[in-house]
């Protein structure tokens, strides 16, 4: 076979592969899309996933089914998607826990950067620091002084959870020492905060605002440099002179590695488009959250940066799973 003939065969094969990829993306989705949520039903992650699924169902005229696969700090559902066929019909809808898991578990059953592709962020909820009944202070400045006088107990929603890392981030940035106490979820820790058995908790505005408004908890600070619209009188950590304490809860969509680039691009466009609607903004506002979409490459950078940030903090603070 001559060299020219071989070149023509390679060129034809490359053109065929390119055309089939484009055709696949144009036909996507070709059937039901399963959106895996690695958390239990009823949480904010689940609510946002179901809203997005309904919007995509209308856009695509194809079923989009939300399936909850909780457990092991969100890693069970995440592994399931990492092992799924890379055809765009199995997606992961997760949260900031995706970035904290590699910092907590020495060995994961998947490679977060090698086995999954970040598609886009969907929304974001600010983190706030609240005080329970045992905290005498009503603002961050007073709390910083109070913390010098006694041991402070920091409640978290679980070892290695986003709330744990947010609390540890505040400790590292402020120099205020607190003793972490890990719970299994937020219900029991909220009861103990209100009952005065725990002092501090750092969590999403969406989950805490009701207890702040009814006076059960005191909002001491907003994590970062952006004030919370719902709590205009609560200072930010940055305004208190605490740098490097910016964090929050994000929701995002991922696909298995190997999913065609054109399908990833279509997913990014379609998800960002449906979440830019007035209905989506109103829905996220009802959860004290905001819509926040990104070009795919930018979301990849955000995820990579956060994984590195949390791994570094875990090493500094000695955070690891038992």
Q: Which CATH class is domain 3-124+249-317?
A: alpha beta
Q: What is the pLDDT of residues 159-179, one digit of tens each?
A: 888 999 999 999 999 999 999
Q: Which CATH superfamily is domain 126-222 in?
A: Periplasmic binding protein-like II (3.40.190.10)
Domain ranges of the chain: 3-124+249-317, 126-222
**pLDDT of 19 higher than 50:** no
Q: What is the pLDDT of residues 87-135, one digit of tens each?
A: 999 999 999 999 999 999 889 999 999 999 999 999 999 999 999 999 9
Highest mean pLDDT among 4-8, 180-184, 278-282: 278-282
Share of the chain above pLDDT 90, in %: 82
**pLDDT computed for residue 5 by the predictor:** 54
Q: What is the pLDDT of residues 222-272, one digit of tens each?
A: 999 999 999 999 999 999 999 999 999 999 999 999 999 999 999 999 999
Instruction: Supply the DSSP symbol for 228.
Output: B
Angular region, 213: left φ>0, alpha ψ -120 to 50, beta rest? alpha
Give mean pLDDT, residues 39-47: 88
Give mean pLDDT, residues 39-59: 94
Give per-residue burial for 142-151: e unless 16+ CB within 10 Å, then b. Answer: ebbebbeeee
**pLDDT computed for residue 236 by the predictor:** 97
pTM of the model as a whole: 0.87
Tell the residue number behind the tokens 């989950």, with chain if given: 207
Q: Which helix (H) or strand (E) holds 253?
A: strand 248-256
Q: What is the pLDDT of residues 257-316, one digit of tens each?
A: 999 999 999 999 999 999 999 999 999 999 999 999 999 999 999 999 999 999 999 999
Please name every residue paired with 130 in a beta bridge, in sequence order, or none if there are none.
201, 219
**pLDDT of 321 higher than 80:** no
Nearest to 271 by CA among 21, 29, 101: 29
**pLDDT computed for residue 3 by the predictor:** 53
Gyration radius (Cα) of the chain, Å: 22
Check for a shared fold between 3-124+249-317 and 126-222.
Answer: yes
* Average pLDDT value for the chain: 92
**pLDDT computed for residue 266 by the predictor:** 98
Q: What is the pLDDT of residues 193-225, one digit of tens each?
A: 999 999 999 999 989 999 999 999 999 999 999
């Amino acid at each position: 076979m001559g060299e020219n003939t071989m070149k023509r065969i390679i060129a034809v094969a490359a053109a065929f592969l390119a055309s089939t990829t484009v055709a696949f993306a144009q036909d996507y989705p070709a059937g039901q899309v399963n959106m895996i949520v690695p958390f239990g039903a009823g949480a904010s992650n689940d609510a946002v996933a179901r809203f997005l699924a309904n919007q995509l169902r209308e856009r695509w005229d194809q079923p989009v089914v939300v399936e909850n696969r909780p457990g092991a700090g969100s890693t069970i559902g995440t592994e399931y998607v990492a092992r799924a066929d890379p055809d765009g019909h199995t997606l992961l809808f997760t949260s900031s826990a995706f970035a904290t898991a590699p910092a907590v578990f020495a060995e994961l059953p998947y490679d977060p950067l090698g086995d999954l592709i970040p598609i886009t962020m969907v929304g974001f909820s600010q983190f706030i620091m609240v005080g329970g009944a045992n905290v005498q202070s009503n603002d961050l400045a007073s709390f910083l002084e109070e913390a010098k006088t006694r041991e402070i107990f920091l409640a978290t929603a679980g070892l290695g959870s986003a709330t744990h890392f947010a609390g540890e981030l505040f400790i590292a940035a402020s120099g205020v020492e607190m003793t972490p106490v890990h719970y299994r979820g937020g219900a029991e820790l909220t009861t103990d905060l209100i009952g005065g058995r725990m002092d501090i908790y750092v969590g999403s505005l969406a989950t805490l605002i009701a207890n702040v408004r009814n006076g059960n908890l005191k909002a001491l600070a907003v994590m970062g440099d952006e004030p919370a619209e719902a709590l205009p009188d609560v200072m930010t950590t940055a305004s208190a002179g605490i740098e490097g304490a910016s964090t929050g809860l994000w929701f995002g969509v991922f696909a298995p590695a190997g999913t065609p680039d054109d399908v990833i691009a279509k997913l990014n466009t379609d998800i960002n488009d449906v979440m830019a609607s007035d209905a989506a903004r109103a829905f996220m506002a009802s959860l004290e959250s905001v819509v926040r979409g990104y070009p795919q490459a930018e979301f990849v950078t955000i995820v990579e940066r956060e994984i590195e940030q949390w791994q570094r903090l875990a090493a500094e603070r000695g955070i690891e799973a038992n």
